[in-house]
Amino acid sequence: MTTGSSRDLTDRQARWALVGLIFLSTVGFSVLAWARNSSFANYGQDTAQFAYAFFQTLRGHWLHSFAGDYTLWGAHPNFLLLLWLPVFWLAPSVNTLFVVQSLTISLAAWPAYLLVRHVTGNRLTALIGAAALLLFPPIARVHVAELHDDPLGLVPLLFAIYFFEKGRFKWFAVFLGVTLLAKETIVLNTVLFSVYALWRRRSWWWVAFPAAWSIGYFLLVRYVVMPAFGDWWAGQLYSQTKYFSQWGNGPGEVLRNMGTHPGAVMGTMFGADRLGYLFKLLLPVGLILPFGSGLWVTAAPSLGVNLLSNWPFLREFTHWYGMLPGAQLWASMILALPLWSQQVARWFGGRDYSRSLCVVVLLLCVAQYNLWLTPSEYRRNPSHAAQVDAIAAVPGGSSVLCADHILPAFANRPAINSLVALNFHHQDLNRVFDYEYIVFDGNYPGLPGEAQMQQGLFKVISQNPAYRSVFARENVFVFQRVGVPERTLRW
């Protein structure tokens, strides 16, 4: 532990400042998330998926997915979602979920504060470091990117790091265990705590537990829990290696090809786009600052997956794929403060520079606000009023098929879907005829190829006598099914 600056806050002042930081972060980011969602200018399928599952739970259908015959626990066993359910029950709304997601992320300031205070011995420095974490682009962006389950692992993961550094094994084990309850993929963020424990020369309990719990829990949910709840995603993610198709068609083939072609592995991991991803991820924490501590190794598996995958979206570091490894890199930077402070002191004189380094990181995060705050995402297009009226034209108890950007607006309906979701889940295209209302919006381009799919379906529906137009204004259309359409569509 370093000796902190003599200028500090009292315990009472620090506690209230921490509460205020969490409150302001929750309110500010949830308002941004509301505004972004209501602009109807962004992809919204993940938000719709989680919101629909919560609405279905209130109707007695446990976390049911709109996209197929499975629950969210069949896609990912995100048991910590149960923490959001009581609040949603009191105020069932998509906006409620944005509030609890922002609170979930903002509460990370608590273990962050404790960790910085443990390392520096200074409350004011700890508040600055916690503020830097909340504004760290991979953390801040998730508030507004969409609803997701990864944020539920952030607080317990940071508490696990804190109790590891405090040397309190029981609490470390509890929080590391809880972290995986957020999502089974977090095994990538927990398993190498065993290596870190070896690095820190901890006892065998510290070494054995992270690997044993991580691997054992993953196998349990993969082969017992997920099949019990539908197992749709596991079949593609773990059996077919969806994110690594360039390496092979199954886990064995992928691992064999990686093991026998190390040059290709290194060439992929350190390609120009991959190095650019690492540069952007590390820049807010001072590029090299996290590597003054060994904790960064715990983020290596998650980063390795992102670097090796053929899915570029995993390298969108300001989405949820960068949140947890980003938090681990931030924590590694905090643990390295004594080392870097001593190094700076050799250059500029003997004093503690921990607070100055935290201020630099905070300023770097503030300077990169454009990575999580994009004005165009909040800008309503001229047809926004028509979009709102089209949504209102669909009766509350009806089933709806529409484009992804307005799908969250129908999350409280008994059945919803989109063309993109049907395609992604390899569903029969003729399922479009299962829905009582179909909503088209020609003002939003969507994902690559989505506009062409929408145009093709619009041509079919607008000329189909089984449908009648109930709304048409400013390139926004609503059709109601009034007959029995022929099911003759093909992808």
pLDDT in tens, 126-175: 999 999 999 999 999 999 989 999 999 999 999 999 999 999 999 999 99
Q: What is the pLDDT of residue 1?
A: 43
Cβ-contact 188, 328 below 8 angstroms: no
In the predicted model, is pLDDT for residue 235 greater than 70? no
Q: What is the pLDDT of residue 3?
A: 44
Here the tokens at position 38 are: 């209501």
Q: What is the pLDDT of residue 446?
A: 79
In the predicted model, is pLDDT for residue 66 greater than 70? yes
pLDDT band at 108 (very low <50, low <70, confident <90, very high): very high
- Pick 234 or 426 by higher pLDDT: 426
Distance CA 111, CA 158 (A): 6
Measured distance between the N- and C-terminal CA atoms of the chain, rounded to whole angstroms: 62
Cβ-contact 100, 91 below 8 angstroms: no
pLDDT band at 237 (very low <50, low <70, confident <90, very high): low
Helix axes 11-38, 137-145, angle to 10 degrees: 50
Q: Which residue has the tokens 């002191």?
A: 345
In the predicted model, is pLDDT for residue 4 greater than 60? no
Q: What is the pLDDT of residues 336-388, one digit of tens each?
A: 999 999 999 888 887 889 999 999 999 999 999 999 999 999 999 899 999 99
Strand-by-strand arrangement of the 476-481 sheet: 416-417, 400-401, 437-441, 476-481, 467-473
Q: Across the chain, which distance is largest between two alpha carbons, in Å?
A: 83
Distance of CA 315 to the CA centre of its chain: 12
Distance CA 82, CA 396 (A): 26
Q: What is the pLDDT of residue 6?
A: 61
pLDDT band at 273 (very low <50, low <70, confident <90, very high): confident
Q: What percent of the chain has pLDDT over 70?
A: 96
Q: How many CA atoms lie within 13 A of 404 on its CB side?
A: 22
| pLDDT (average), residues 426-438 | 90
- Taking CA atoms, 385 is separated from 378, 379, 443, 461, in Å, by 15, 13, 12, 23
Q: What is the pLDDT of residue 312?
A: 78
Distance CA 232, CA 487 (A): 25
Q: Are strands 416-417 and 467-473 parallel, antiparallel or unpaired?
A: unpaired
Where does 336-462 have alpha helices with state H? 337-348, 354-367, 384-392, 419-424, 450-462
- Pick 97 or 266 by higher pLDDT: 97
- Pick 419 or 388 by higher pLDDT: 388
Distance CA 149, CA 163 (A): 23
Q: What share of the chain is helix, strand, coil (3-state, %, to 5)?
A: 65, 5, 30
* Average pLDDT of every residue of the chain: 91
- Pick 320 or 49 by higher pLDDT: 49
Q: What is the pLDDT of residue 2?
A: 43
Q: What is the pLDDT of residue 370?
A: 92
Q: What is the pLDDT of residue 486?
A: 83
Weakest-pLDDT range from 199-203, 269-273, 277-281, 398-402:
269-273
- Pick 445 or 54 by higher pLDDT: 54
| pLDDT (average), residues 404-412 | 95
Q: What is the pLDDT of residue 368?
A: 93
In the predicted model, is pLDDT for residue 416 greater than 50? yes
pLDDT band at 233 (very low <50, low <70, confident <90, very high): low
C-alpha closest to that of 407 among 44, 68, 145, 147 = 44
pLDDT band at 74 (very low <50, low <70, confident <90, very high): confident
- Taking CA atoms, 310 is separated from 245, 248, 300, 463, in Å, by 7, 11, 18, 40
